[in-house]
């Protein structure tokens, strides 16, 4: 565990001293040039007054030029060093052409006059410089943590790309997405979250090698510019990952940052592109369940395709691009059809056939999941009526998302669709994975009970692969479970799998549920499952998912393997 230690935040974008507040933001080169001009102004004014015969015959106001220049270039600190020489010079030149009394009367007066004139210029310059620096600091830093922000990161990247020598100190960018920072902020307050991020900044500085700079890029995101060789990057990555495997102690409580890290090399000259690459790698790490990932060109292609898919979804819902295919489920003992599972398919105009495991996870991240689920239910009901007219009367199952189960309006929308297409609710079935249920089990059970009371059959999909919470299993208003294909694939050759499947069947039957085996591909699997007491099966042995216009042909030709064996033995 790490403990919060005090370390001063800041960097090249801070205000290093109060003295600098008084000096305008002017480059050293211009200041050096200005100093030369000031000295020349002294010389020019002095020469003019000397040749003109003193202040009475010349233009003594010329001596104010170097004072004004010094006030402009150096602010308040430049007033006194410029006013005193000016007063001394003009008094000395005046004394050559008059008595010595001018030293007593005019020197203090001229000194005060030049100081006042210089201050009248320098103080507004000082005020402008102070607020200009303050504004620049605020624009470049996060107000809560004091860390350099997005603008500072982009400015540094611009400097790196303009100077190849900079690549010797900065050649990589890491983007760290903190997934639970909002939960921390809401629980402990924003000041606590800022303190924790500052503590994380300290650990990141220590973890990365020299020349690393940490930026508070977004509220939930840090960025690190660093230098690392290809050989050392793997080791450095592991060191950074270790930070997020430890908790940070805040007021005696251990706080864990749930974070994903994306790495990208600094290449090209587009700062936005480099940041996009690191962000893509961070997003890829999150999707793959990894702590960190290094950017590859394939990630950019995936991200672009994902945006294309999401942009075209609404049009696809109202066109022929999105369709449903149907995979039959049959009774293992009788070989009779007991239902169809509706599976979505997307024939994209530019990307071609997009598999459901590619686009459905994208949809589930957005509010479009509600429209998509209602489209699937409505399309399934339309096809049910079509099957019914052809003499195929059976249950149609549609997959749901956890987002549907937290929508209070969802049951009403289902009733509306059933009434609209005049379909009895007993012919509709909803499948949902146990992992989806366990995201919000209390709310999910509440909605599922409302659906089952219509009555609509509820099936627990991919049983055994998710949380498998037995504490909630007996509370679910489910009518059946579906054993995942991963348990069926080697069931004939693995006694352990057979015992697991047999136990699942016994458990489900004891709870009054039927059992469907997914992924049945061989007759040996079919017969073994029948002997184990499994009720139904689904898989390529029976049929692949097919479009609705092929259902009747399959139905007329279907003969169950067990029935074929019985006829052969007879």
Confidence of residue 371 (pLDDT cuts 50, 70, 90): very high
Give the single-character DSSP code of 418.
H
In this prediction, residue 284 carries a pLDDT of: 87
pLDDT over threshold 50, residue 235: yes
Please report which confidence band the pLDDT of residue 462 belongs to, taking 50, 70 and 90 as the band edges.
confident
Mapped onto helix, strand or coil, the DSSP state of residue 258 is: coil
CATH architecture of 150-295: 2-Layer Sandwich (3.30)
Residue corresponding to tokens 């069931």: 491
CATH classification for the domain delimited by 317-569, as one of 3.20.20.450, 3.30.70.360, 3.40.50.2000, 3.40.50.970: 3.20.20.450
Cis peptide leading into 560, omega within 30 of 0?
A: no
pLDDT at 15: 45
Q: Which band of pLDDT confidence, cut at 50, 70 and 90, is reported for residue 105? A: low
568 pLDDT band, cuts 50/70/90, is: very low
Please give the pLDDT value at position 58: 53
Choose between 563 and 360: higher pLDDT: 360
| Domain locations along the chain | 19-140, 150-295, 317-569
| Closest alpha carbon to 471 in 495, 492, 449, 442 | 442
pLDDT of 457 over the 90 cut: yes
Q: Which residue has the higher pLDDT, 229 or 10?
A: 229
pLDDT of residue 380: 97
Cα–Cα distance, 82 to 492 (Å, whole number): 97
**pLDDT of amino acid 17:** 45
Q: In which residue are the tokens 């057979």 written? A: 498
Does residue 567 surpass a pLDDT of 50?
A: no
Helix axes 79-95, 64-74, angle to 10 degrees: 170
Instruction: Indicate if the pLDDT at residue 469 is higher than 80.
Output: no
In tens, the pLDDT along 68-80 reads 888 888 878 788 8
Mean pLDDT of the chain: 84
Tell me what pLDDT residue 332 has.
Answer: 94
Q: Distance between CA 557 and CA 126 in Å, rounded?
A: 92
* 183-191 long-range contacts, CB within 8 A, separation 24+: 184/255, 188/250, 188/255, 190/144, 191/144
**Which one, of 313, 252, 249, 303, lies nearest residue 280 by Cα?**
303
Kindly indicate the confidence band of residue 22, based on its pLDDT and cuts at 50, 70 and 90. Answer: low
217-231, pLDDT tens digit by residue?
Answer: 888 899 999 888 777
Model pLDDT for residues 145-195, shown as the tens digit of each residue: 888 999 999 988 888 888 766 666 678 899 999 999 988 888 888 888 888
Distance of CA 408 to the CA centre of its chain: 28
Token representation of residue 278: 């690191």
The H or E element that residue 558 is part of is none
Identify the residue with better confidence: 416 or 136: 416
Cα separation, 18 vs 20, whole angstroms: 5
Quickly state the pLDDT bin for 376 (edges 50, 70, 90).
very high
- Provide mean pLDDT across the span 504-529: 95
CB-based contacts of 553, cutoff 8 Å, min separation 6:
none
Q: Give, as one character, the DSSP assignment of residue 521.
A: -
Q: Please, what is the angle between helix 356-364 and helix 368-389, to 10°?
A: 130
pLDDT at 51 over 50: yes
Please say whether the dihedral angle defined by the alpha carbons of residues 145, 150, 153 and 159, taken in this order, is positive or negative: negative
**Residue 16 pLDDT level (bands cut at 50, 70, 90):** very low
- Secondary element (H or E) of residue 479: none
Tokens of 291: 């702590």
pLDDT category of residue 521 using cuts at 50, 70 and 90: very high
pLDDT, tens digit (0-9, with 9 covering 90-100), for 392-438: 999 999 999 989 988 889 999 999 999 999 999 999 999 998 777 87
pLDDT score, position 13:
39
| pTM, to two decimals | 0.66
Please state, as a whole number, how many other Cβ atoms lie within 10 Å of the Cβ of residue 138: 11
Find which of 108-117, 238-247, 479-488 is predicted with most confidence, using mean pLDDT.
Answer: 479-488
């Amino acid at each position: 565990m790490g403990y919060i230690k005090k370390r001063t935040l800041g960097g090249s974008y801070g205000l290093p001293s109060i003295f600098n507040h008084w000096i305008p933001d002017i480059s050293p080169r211009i200041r050096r040039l200005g100093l030369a001009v000031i000295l020349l102004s002294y010389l020019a004014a002095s020469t003019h007054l000397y040749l003109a015969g003193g202040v009475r015959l010349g233009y003594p106001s010329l001596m104010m030029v170097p004072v004004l220049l010094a006030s402009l270039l150096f602010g308040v600190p430049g007033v006194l060093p410029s006013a005193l020489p000016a007063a001394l010079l003009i008094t000395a030149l005046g004394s050559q052409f008059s008595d010595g009394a001018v030293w007593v009367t005019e020197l203090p007066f001229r000194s005060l006059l030049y100081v006042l004139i210089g201050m009248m210029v320098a103080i507004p310059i000082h005020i402008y410089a102070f607020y200009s620096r303050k504004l620049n600091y605020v624009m470049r830093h996060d107000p809560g943590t004091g860390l350099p922000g997005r603008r500072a990161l982009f400015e540094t990247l611009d400097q790196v790309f303009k100077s190849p020598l900079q690549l010797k100190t900065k050649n990589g960018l890491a983007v760290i997405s903190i997934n639970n920072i909002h939960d921390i902020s809401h629980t402990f307050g924003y000041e606590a979250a800022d303190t924790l991020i500052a503590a994380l900044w300290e650990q990141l500085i220590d973890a990365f090698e020299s020349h690393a700079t940490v930026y508070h890029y977004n509220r939930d995101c840090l960025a690190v510019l660093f230098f690392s060789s290809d050989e050392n990057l793997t080791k450095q990555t592991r060191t950074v990952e270790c930070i997020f495997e430890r908790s940070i102690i805040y007021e005696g409580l251990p706080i864990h940052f749930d974070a994903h890290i994306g790495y990208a090399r600094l290449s090209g000259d587009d700062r936005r592109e480099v940041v996009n690459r690191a962000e893509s790698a961070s997003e890829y790490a999150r999707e793959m369940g990894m702590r960190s990932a290094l950017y590859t060109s394939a990630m950019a292609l995936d991200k672009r395709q994902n945006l294309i898919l999401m942009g075209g979804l609404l049009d696809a819902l109202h066109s022929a691009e999105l369709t449903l295919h149907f995979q039959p489920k049959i009774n293992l003992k009788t070989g009779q059809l007991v239902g169809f599972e509706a599976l979505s398919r997307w024939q994209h105009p530019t990307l071609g056939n997009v598999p459901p495991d590619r686009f459905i996870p994208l949809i589930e991240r957005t509010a479009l999941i509600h429209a998509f689920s209602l489209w699937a239910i409505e399309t399934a009901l339309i096809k049910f009526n079509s099957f019914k007219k052809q003499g195929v009367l059976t249950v149609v199952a549609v997959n749901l998302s956890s987002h549907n189960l937290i929508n209070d309006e969802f049951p009403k929308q289902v009733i509306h669709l059933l009434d609209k297409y005049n379909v009895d609710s007993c012919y509709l079935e909803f499948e949902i994975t146990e992992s989806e249920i366990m995201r919000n089990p209390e709310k999910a059970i509440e909605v599922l009970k409302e659906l089952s009371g219509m009555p609509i059959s509820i099936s627990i999909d991919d049983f055994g692969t998710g949380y498998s919470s037995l504490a909630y299993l007996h509370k679910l208003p489910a009518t059946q479970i579906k054993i995942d294909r991963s348990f069926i694939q080697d069931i004939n050759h693995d006694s352990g799998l057979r015992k697991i499947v047999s136990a699942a069947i016994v458990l489900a039957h004891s709870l009054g549920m039927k059992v469907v085996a997914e992924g049945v591909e061989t007759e040996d699997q079919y017969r073994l499952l029948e002997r184990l007491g499994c009720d139904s099966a689904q898989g390529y042995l029976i049929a692949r998912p097919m479009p609705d216009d092929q259902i009747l042909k399959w139905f007329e030709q279907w003969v169950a393997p067990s029935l074929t064996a019985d006829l052969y033995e007879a």
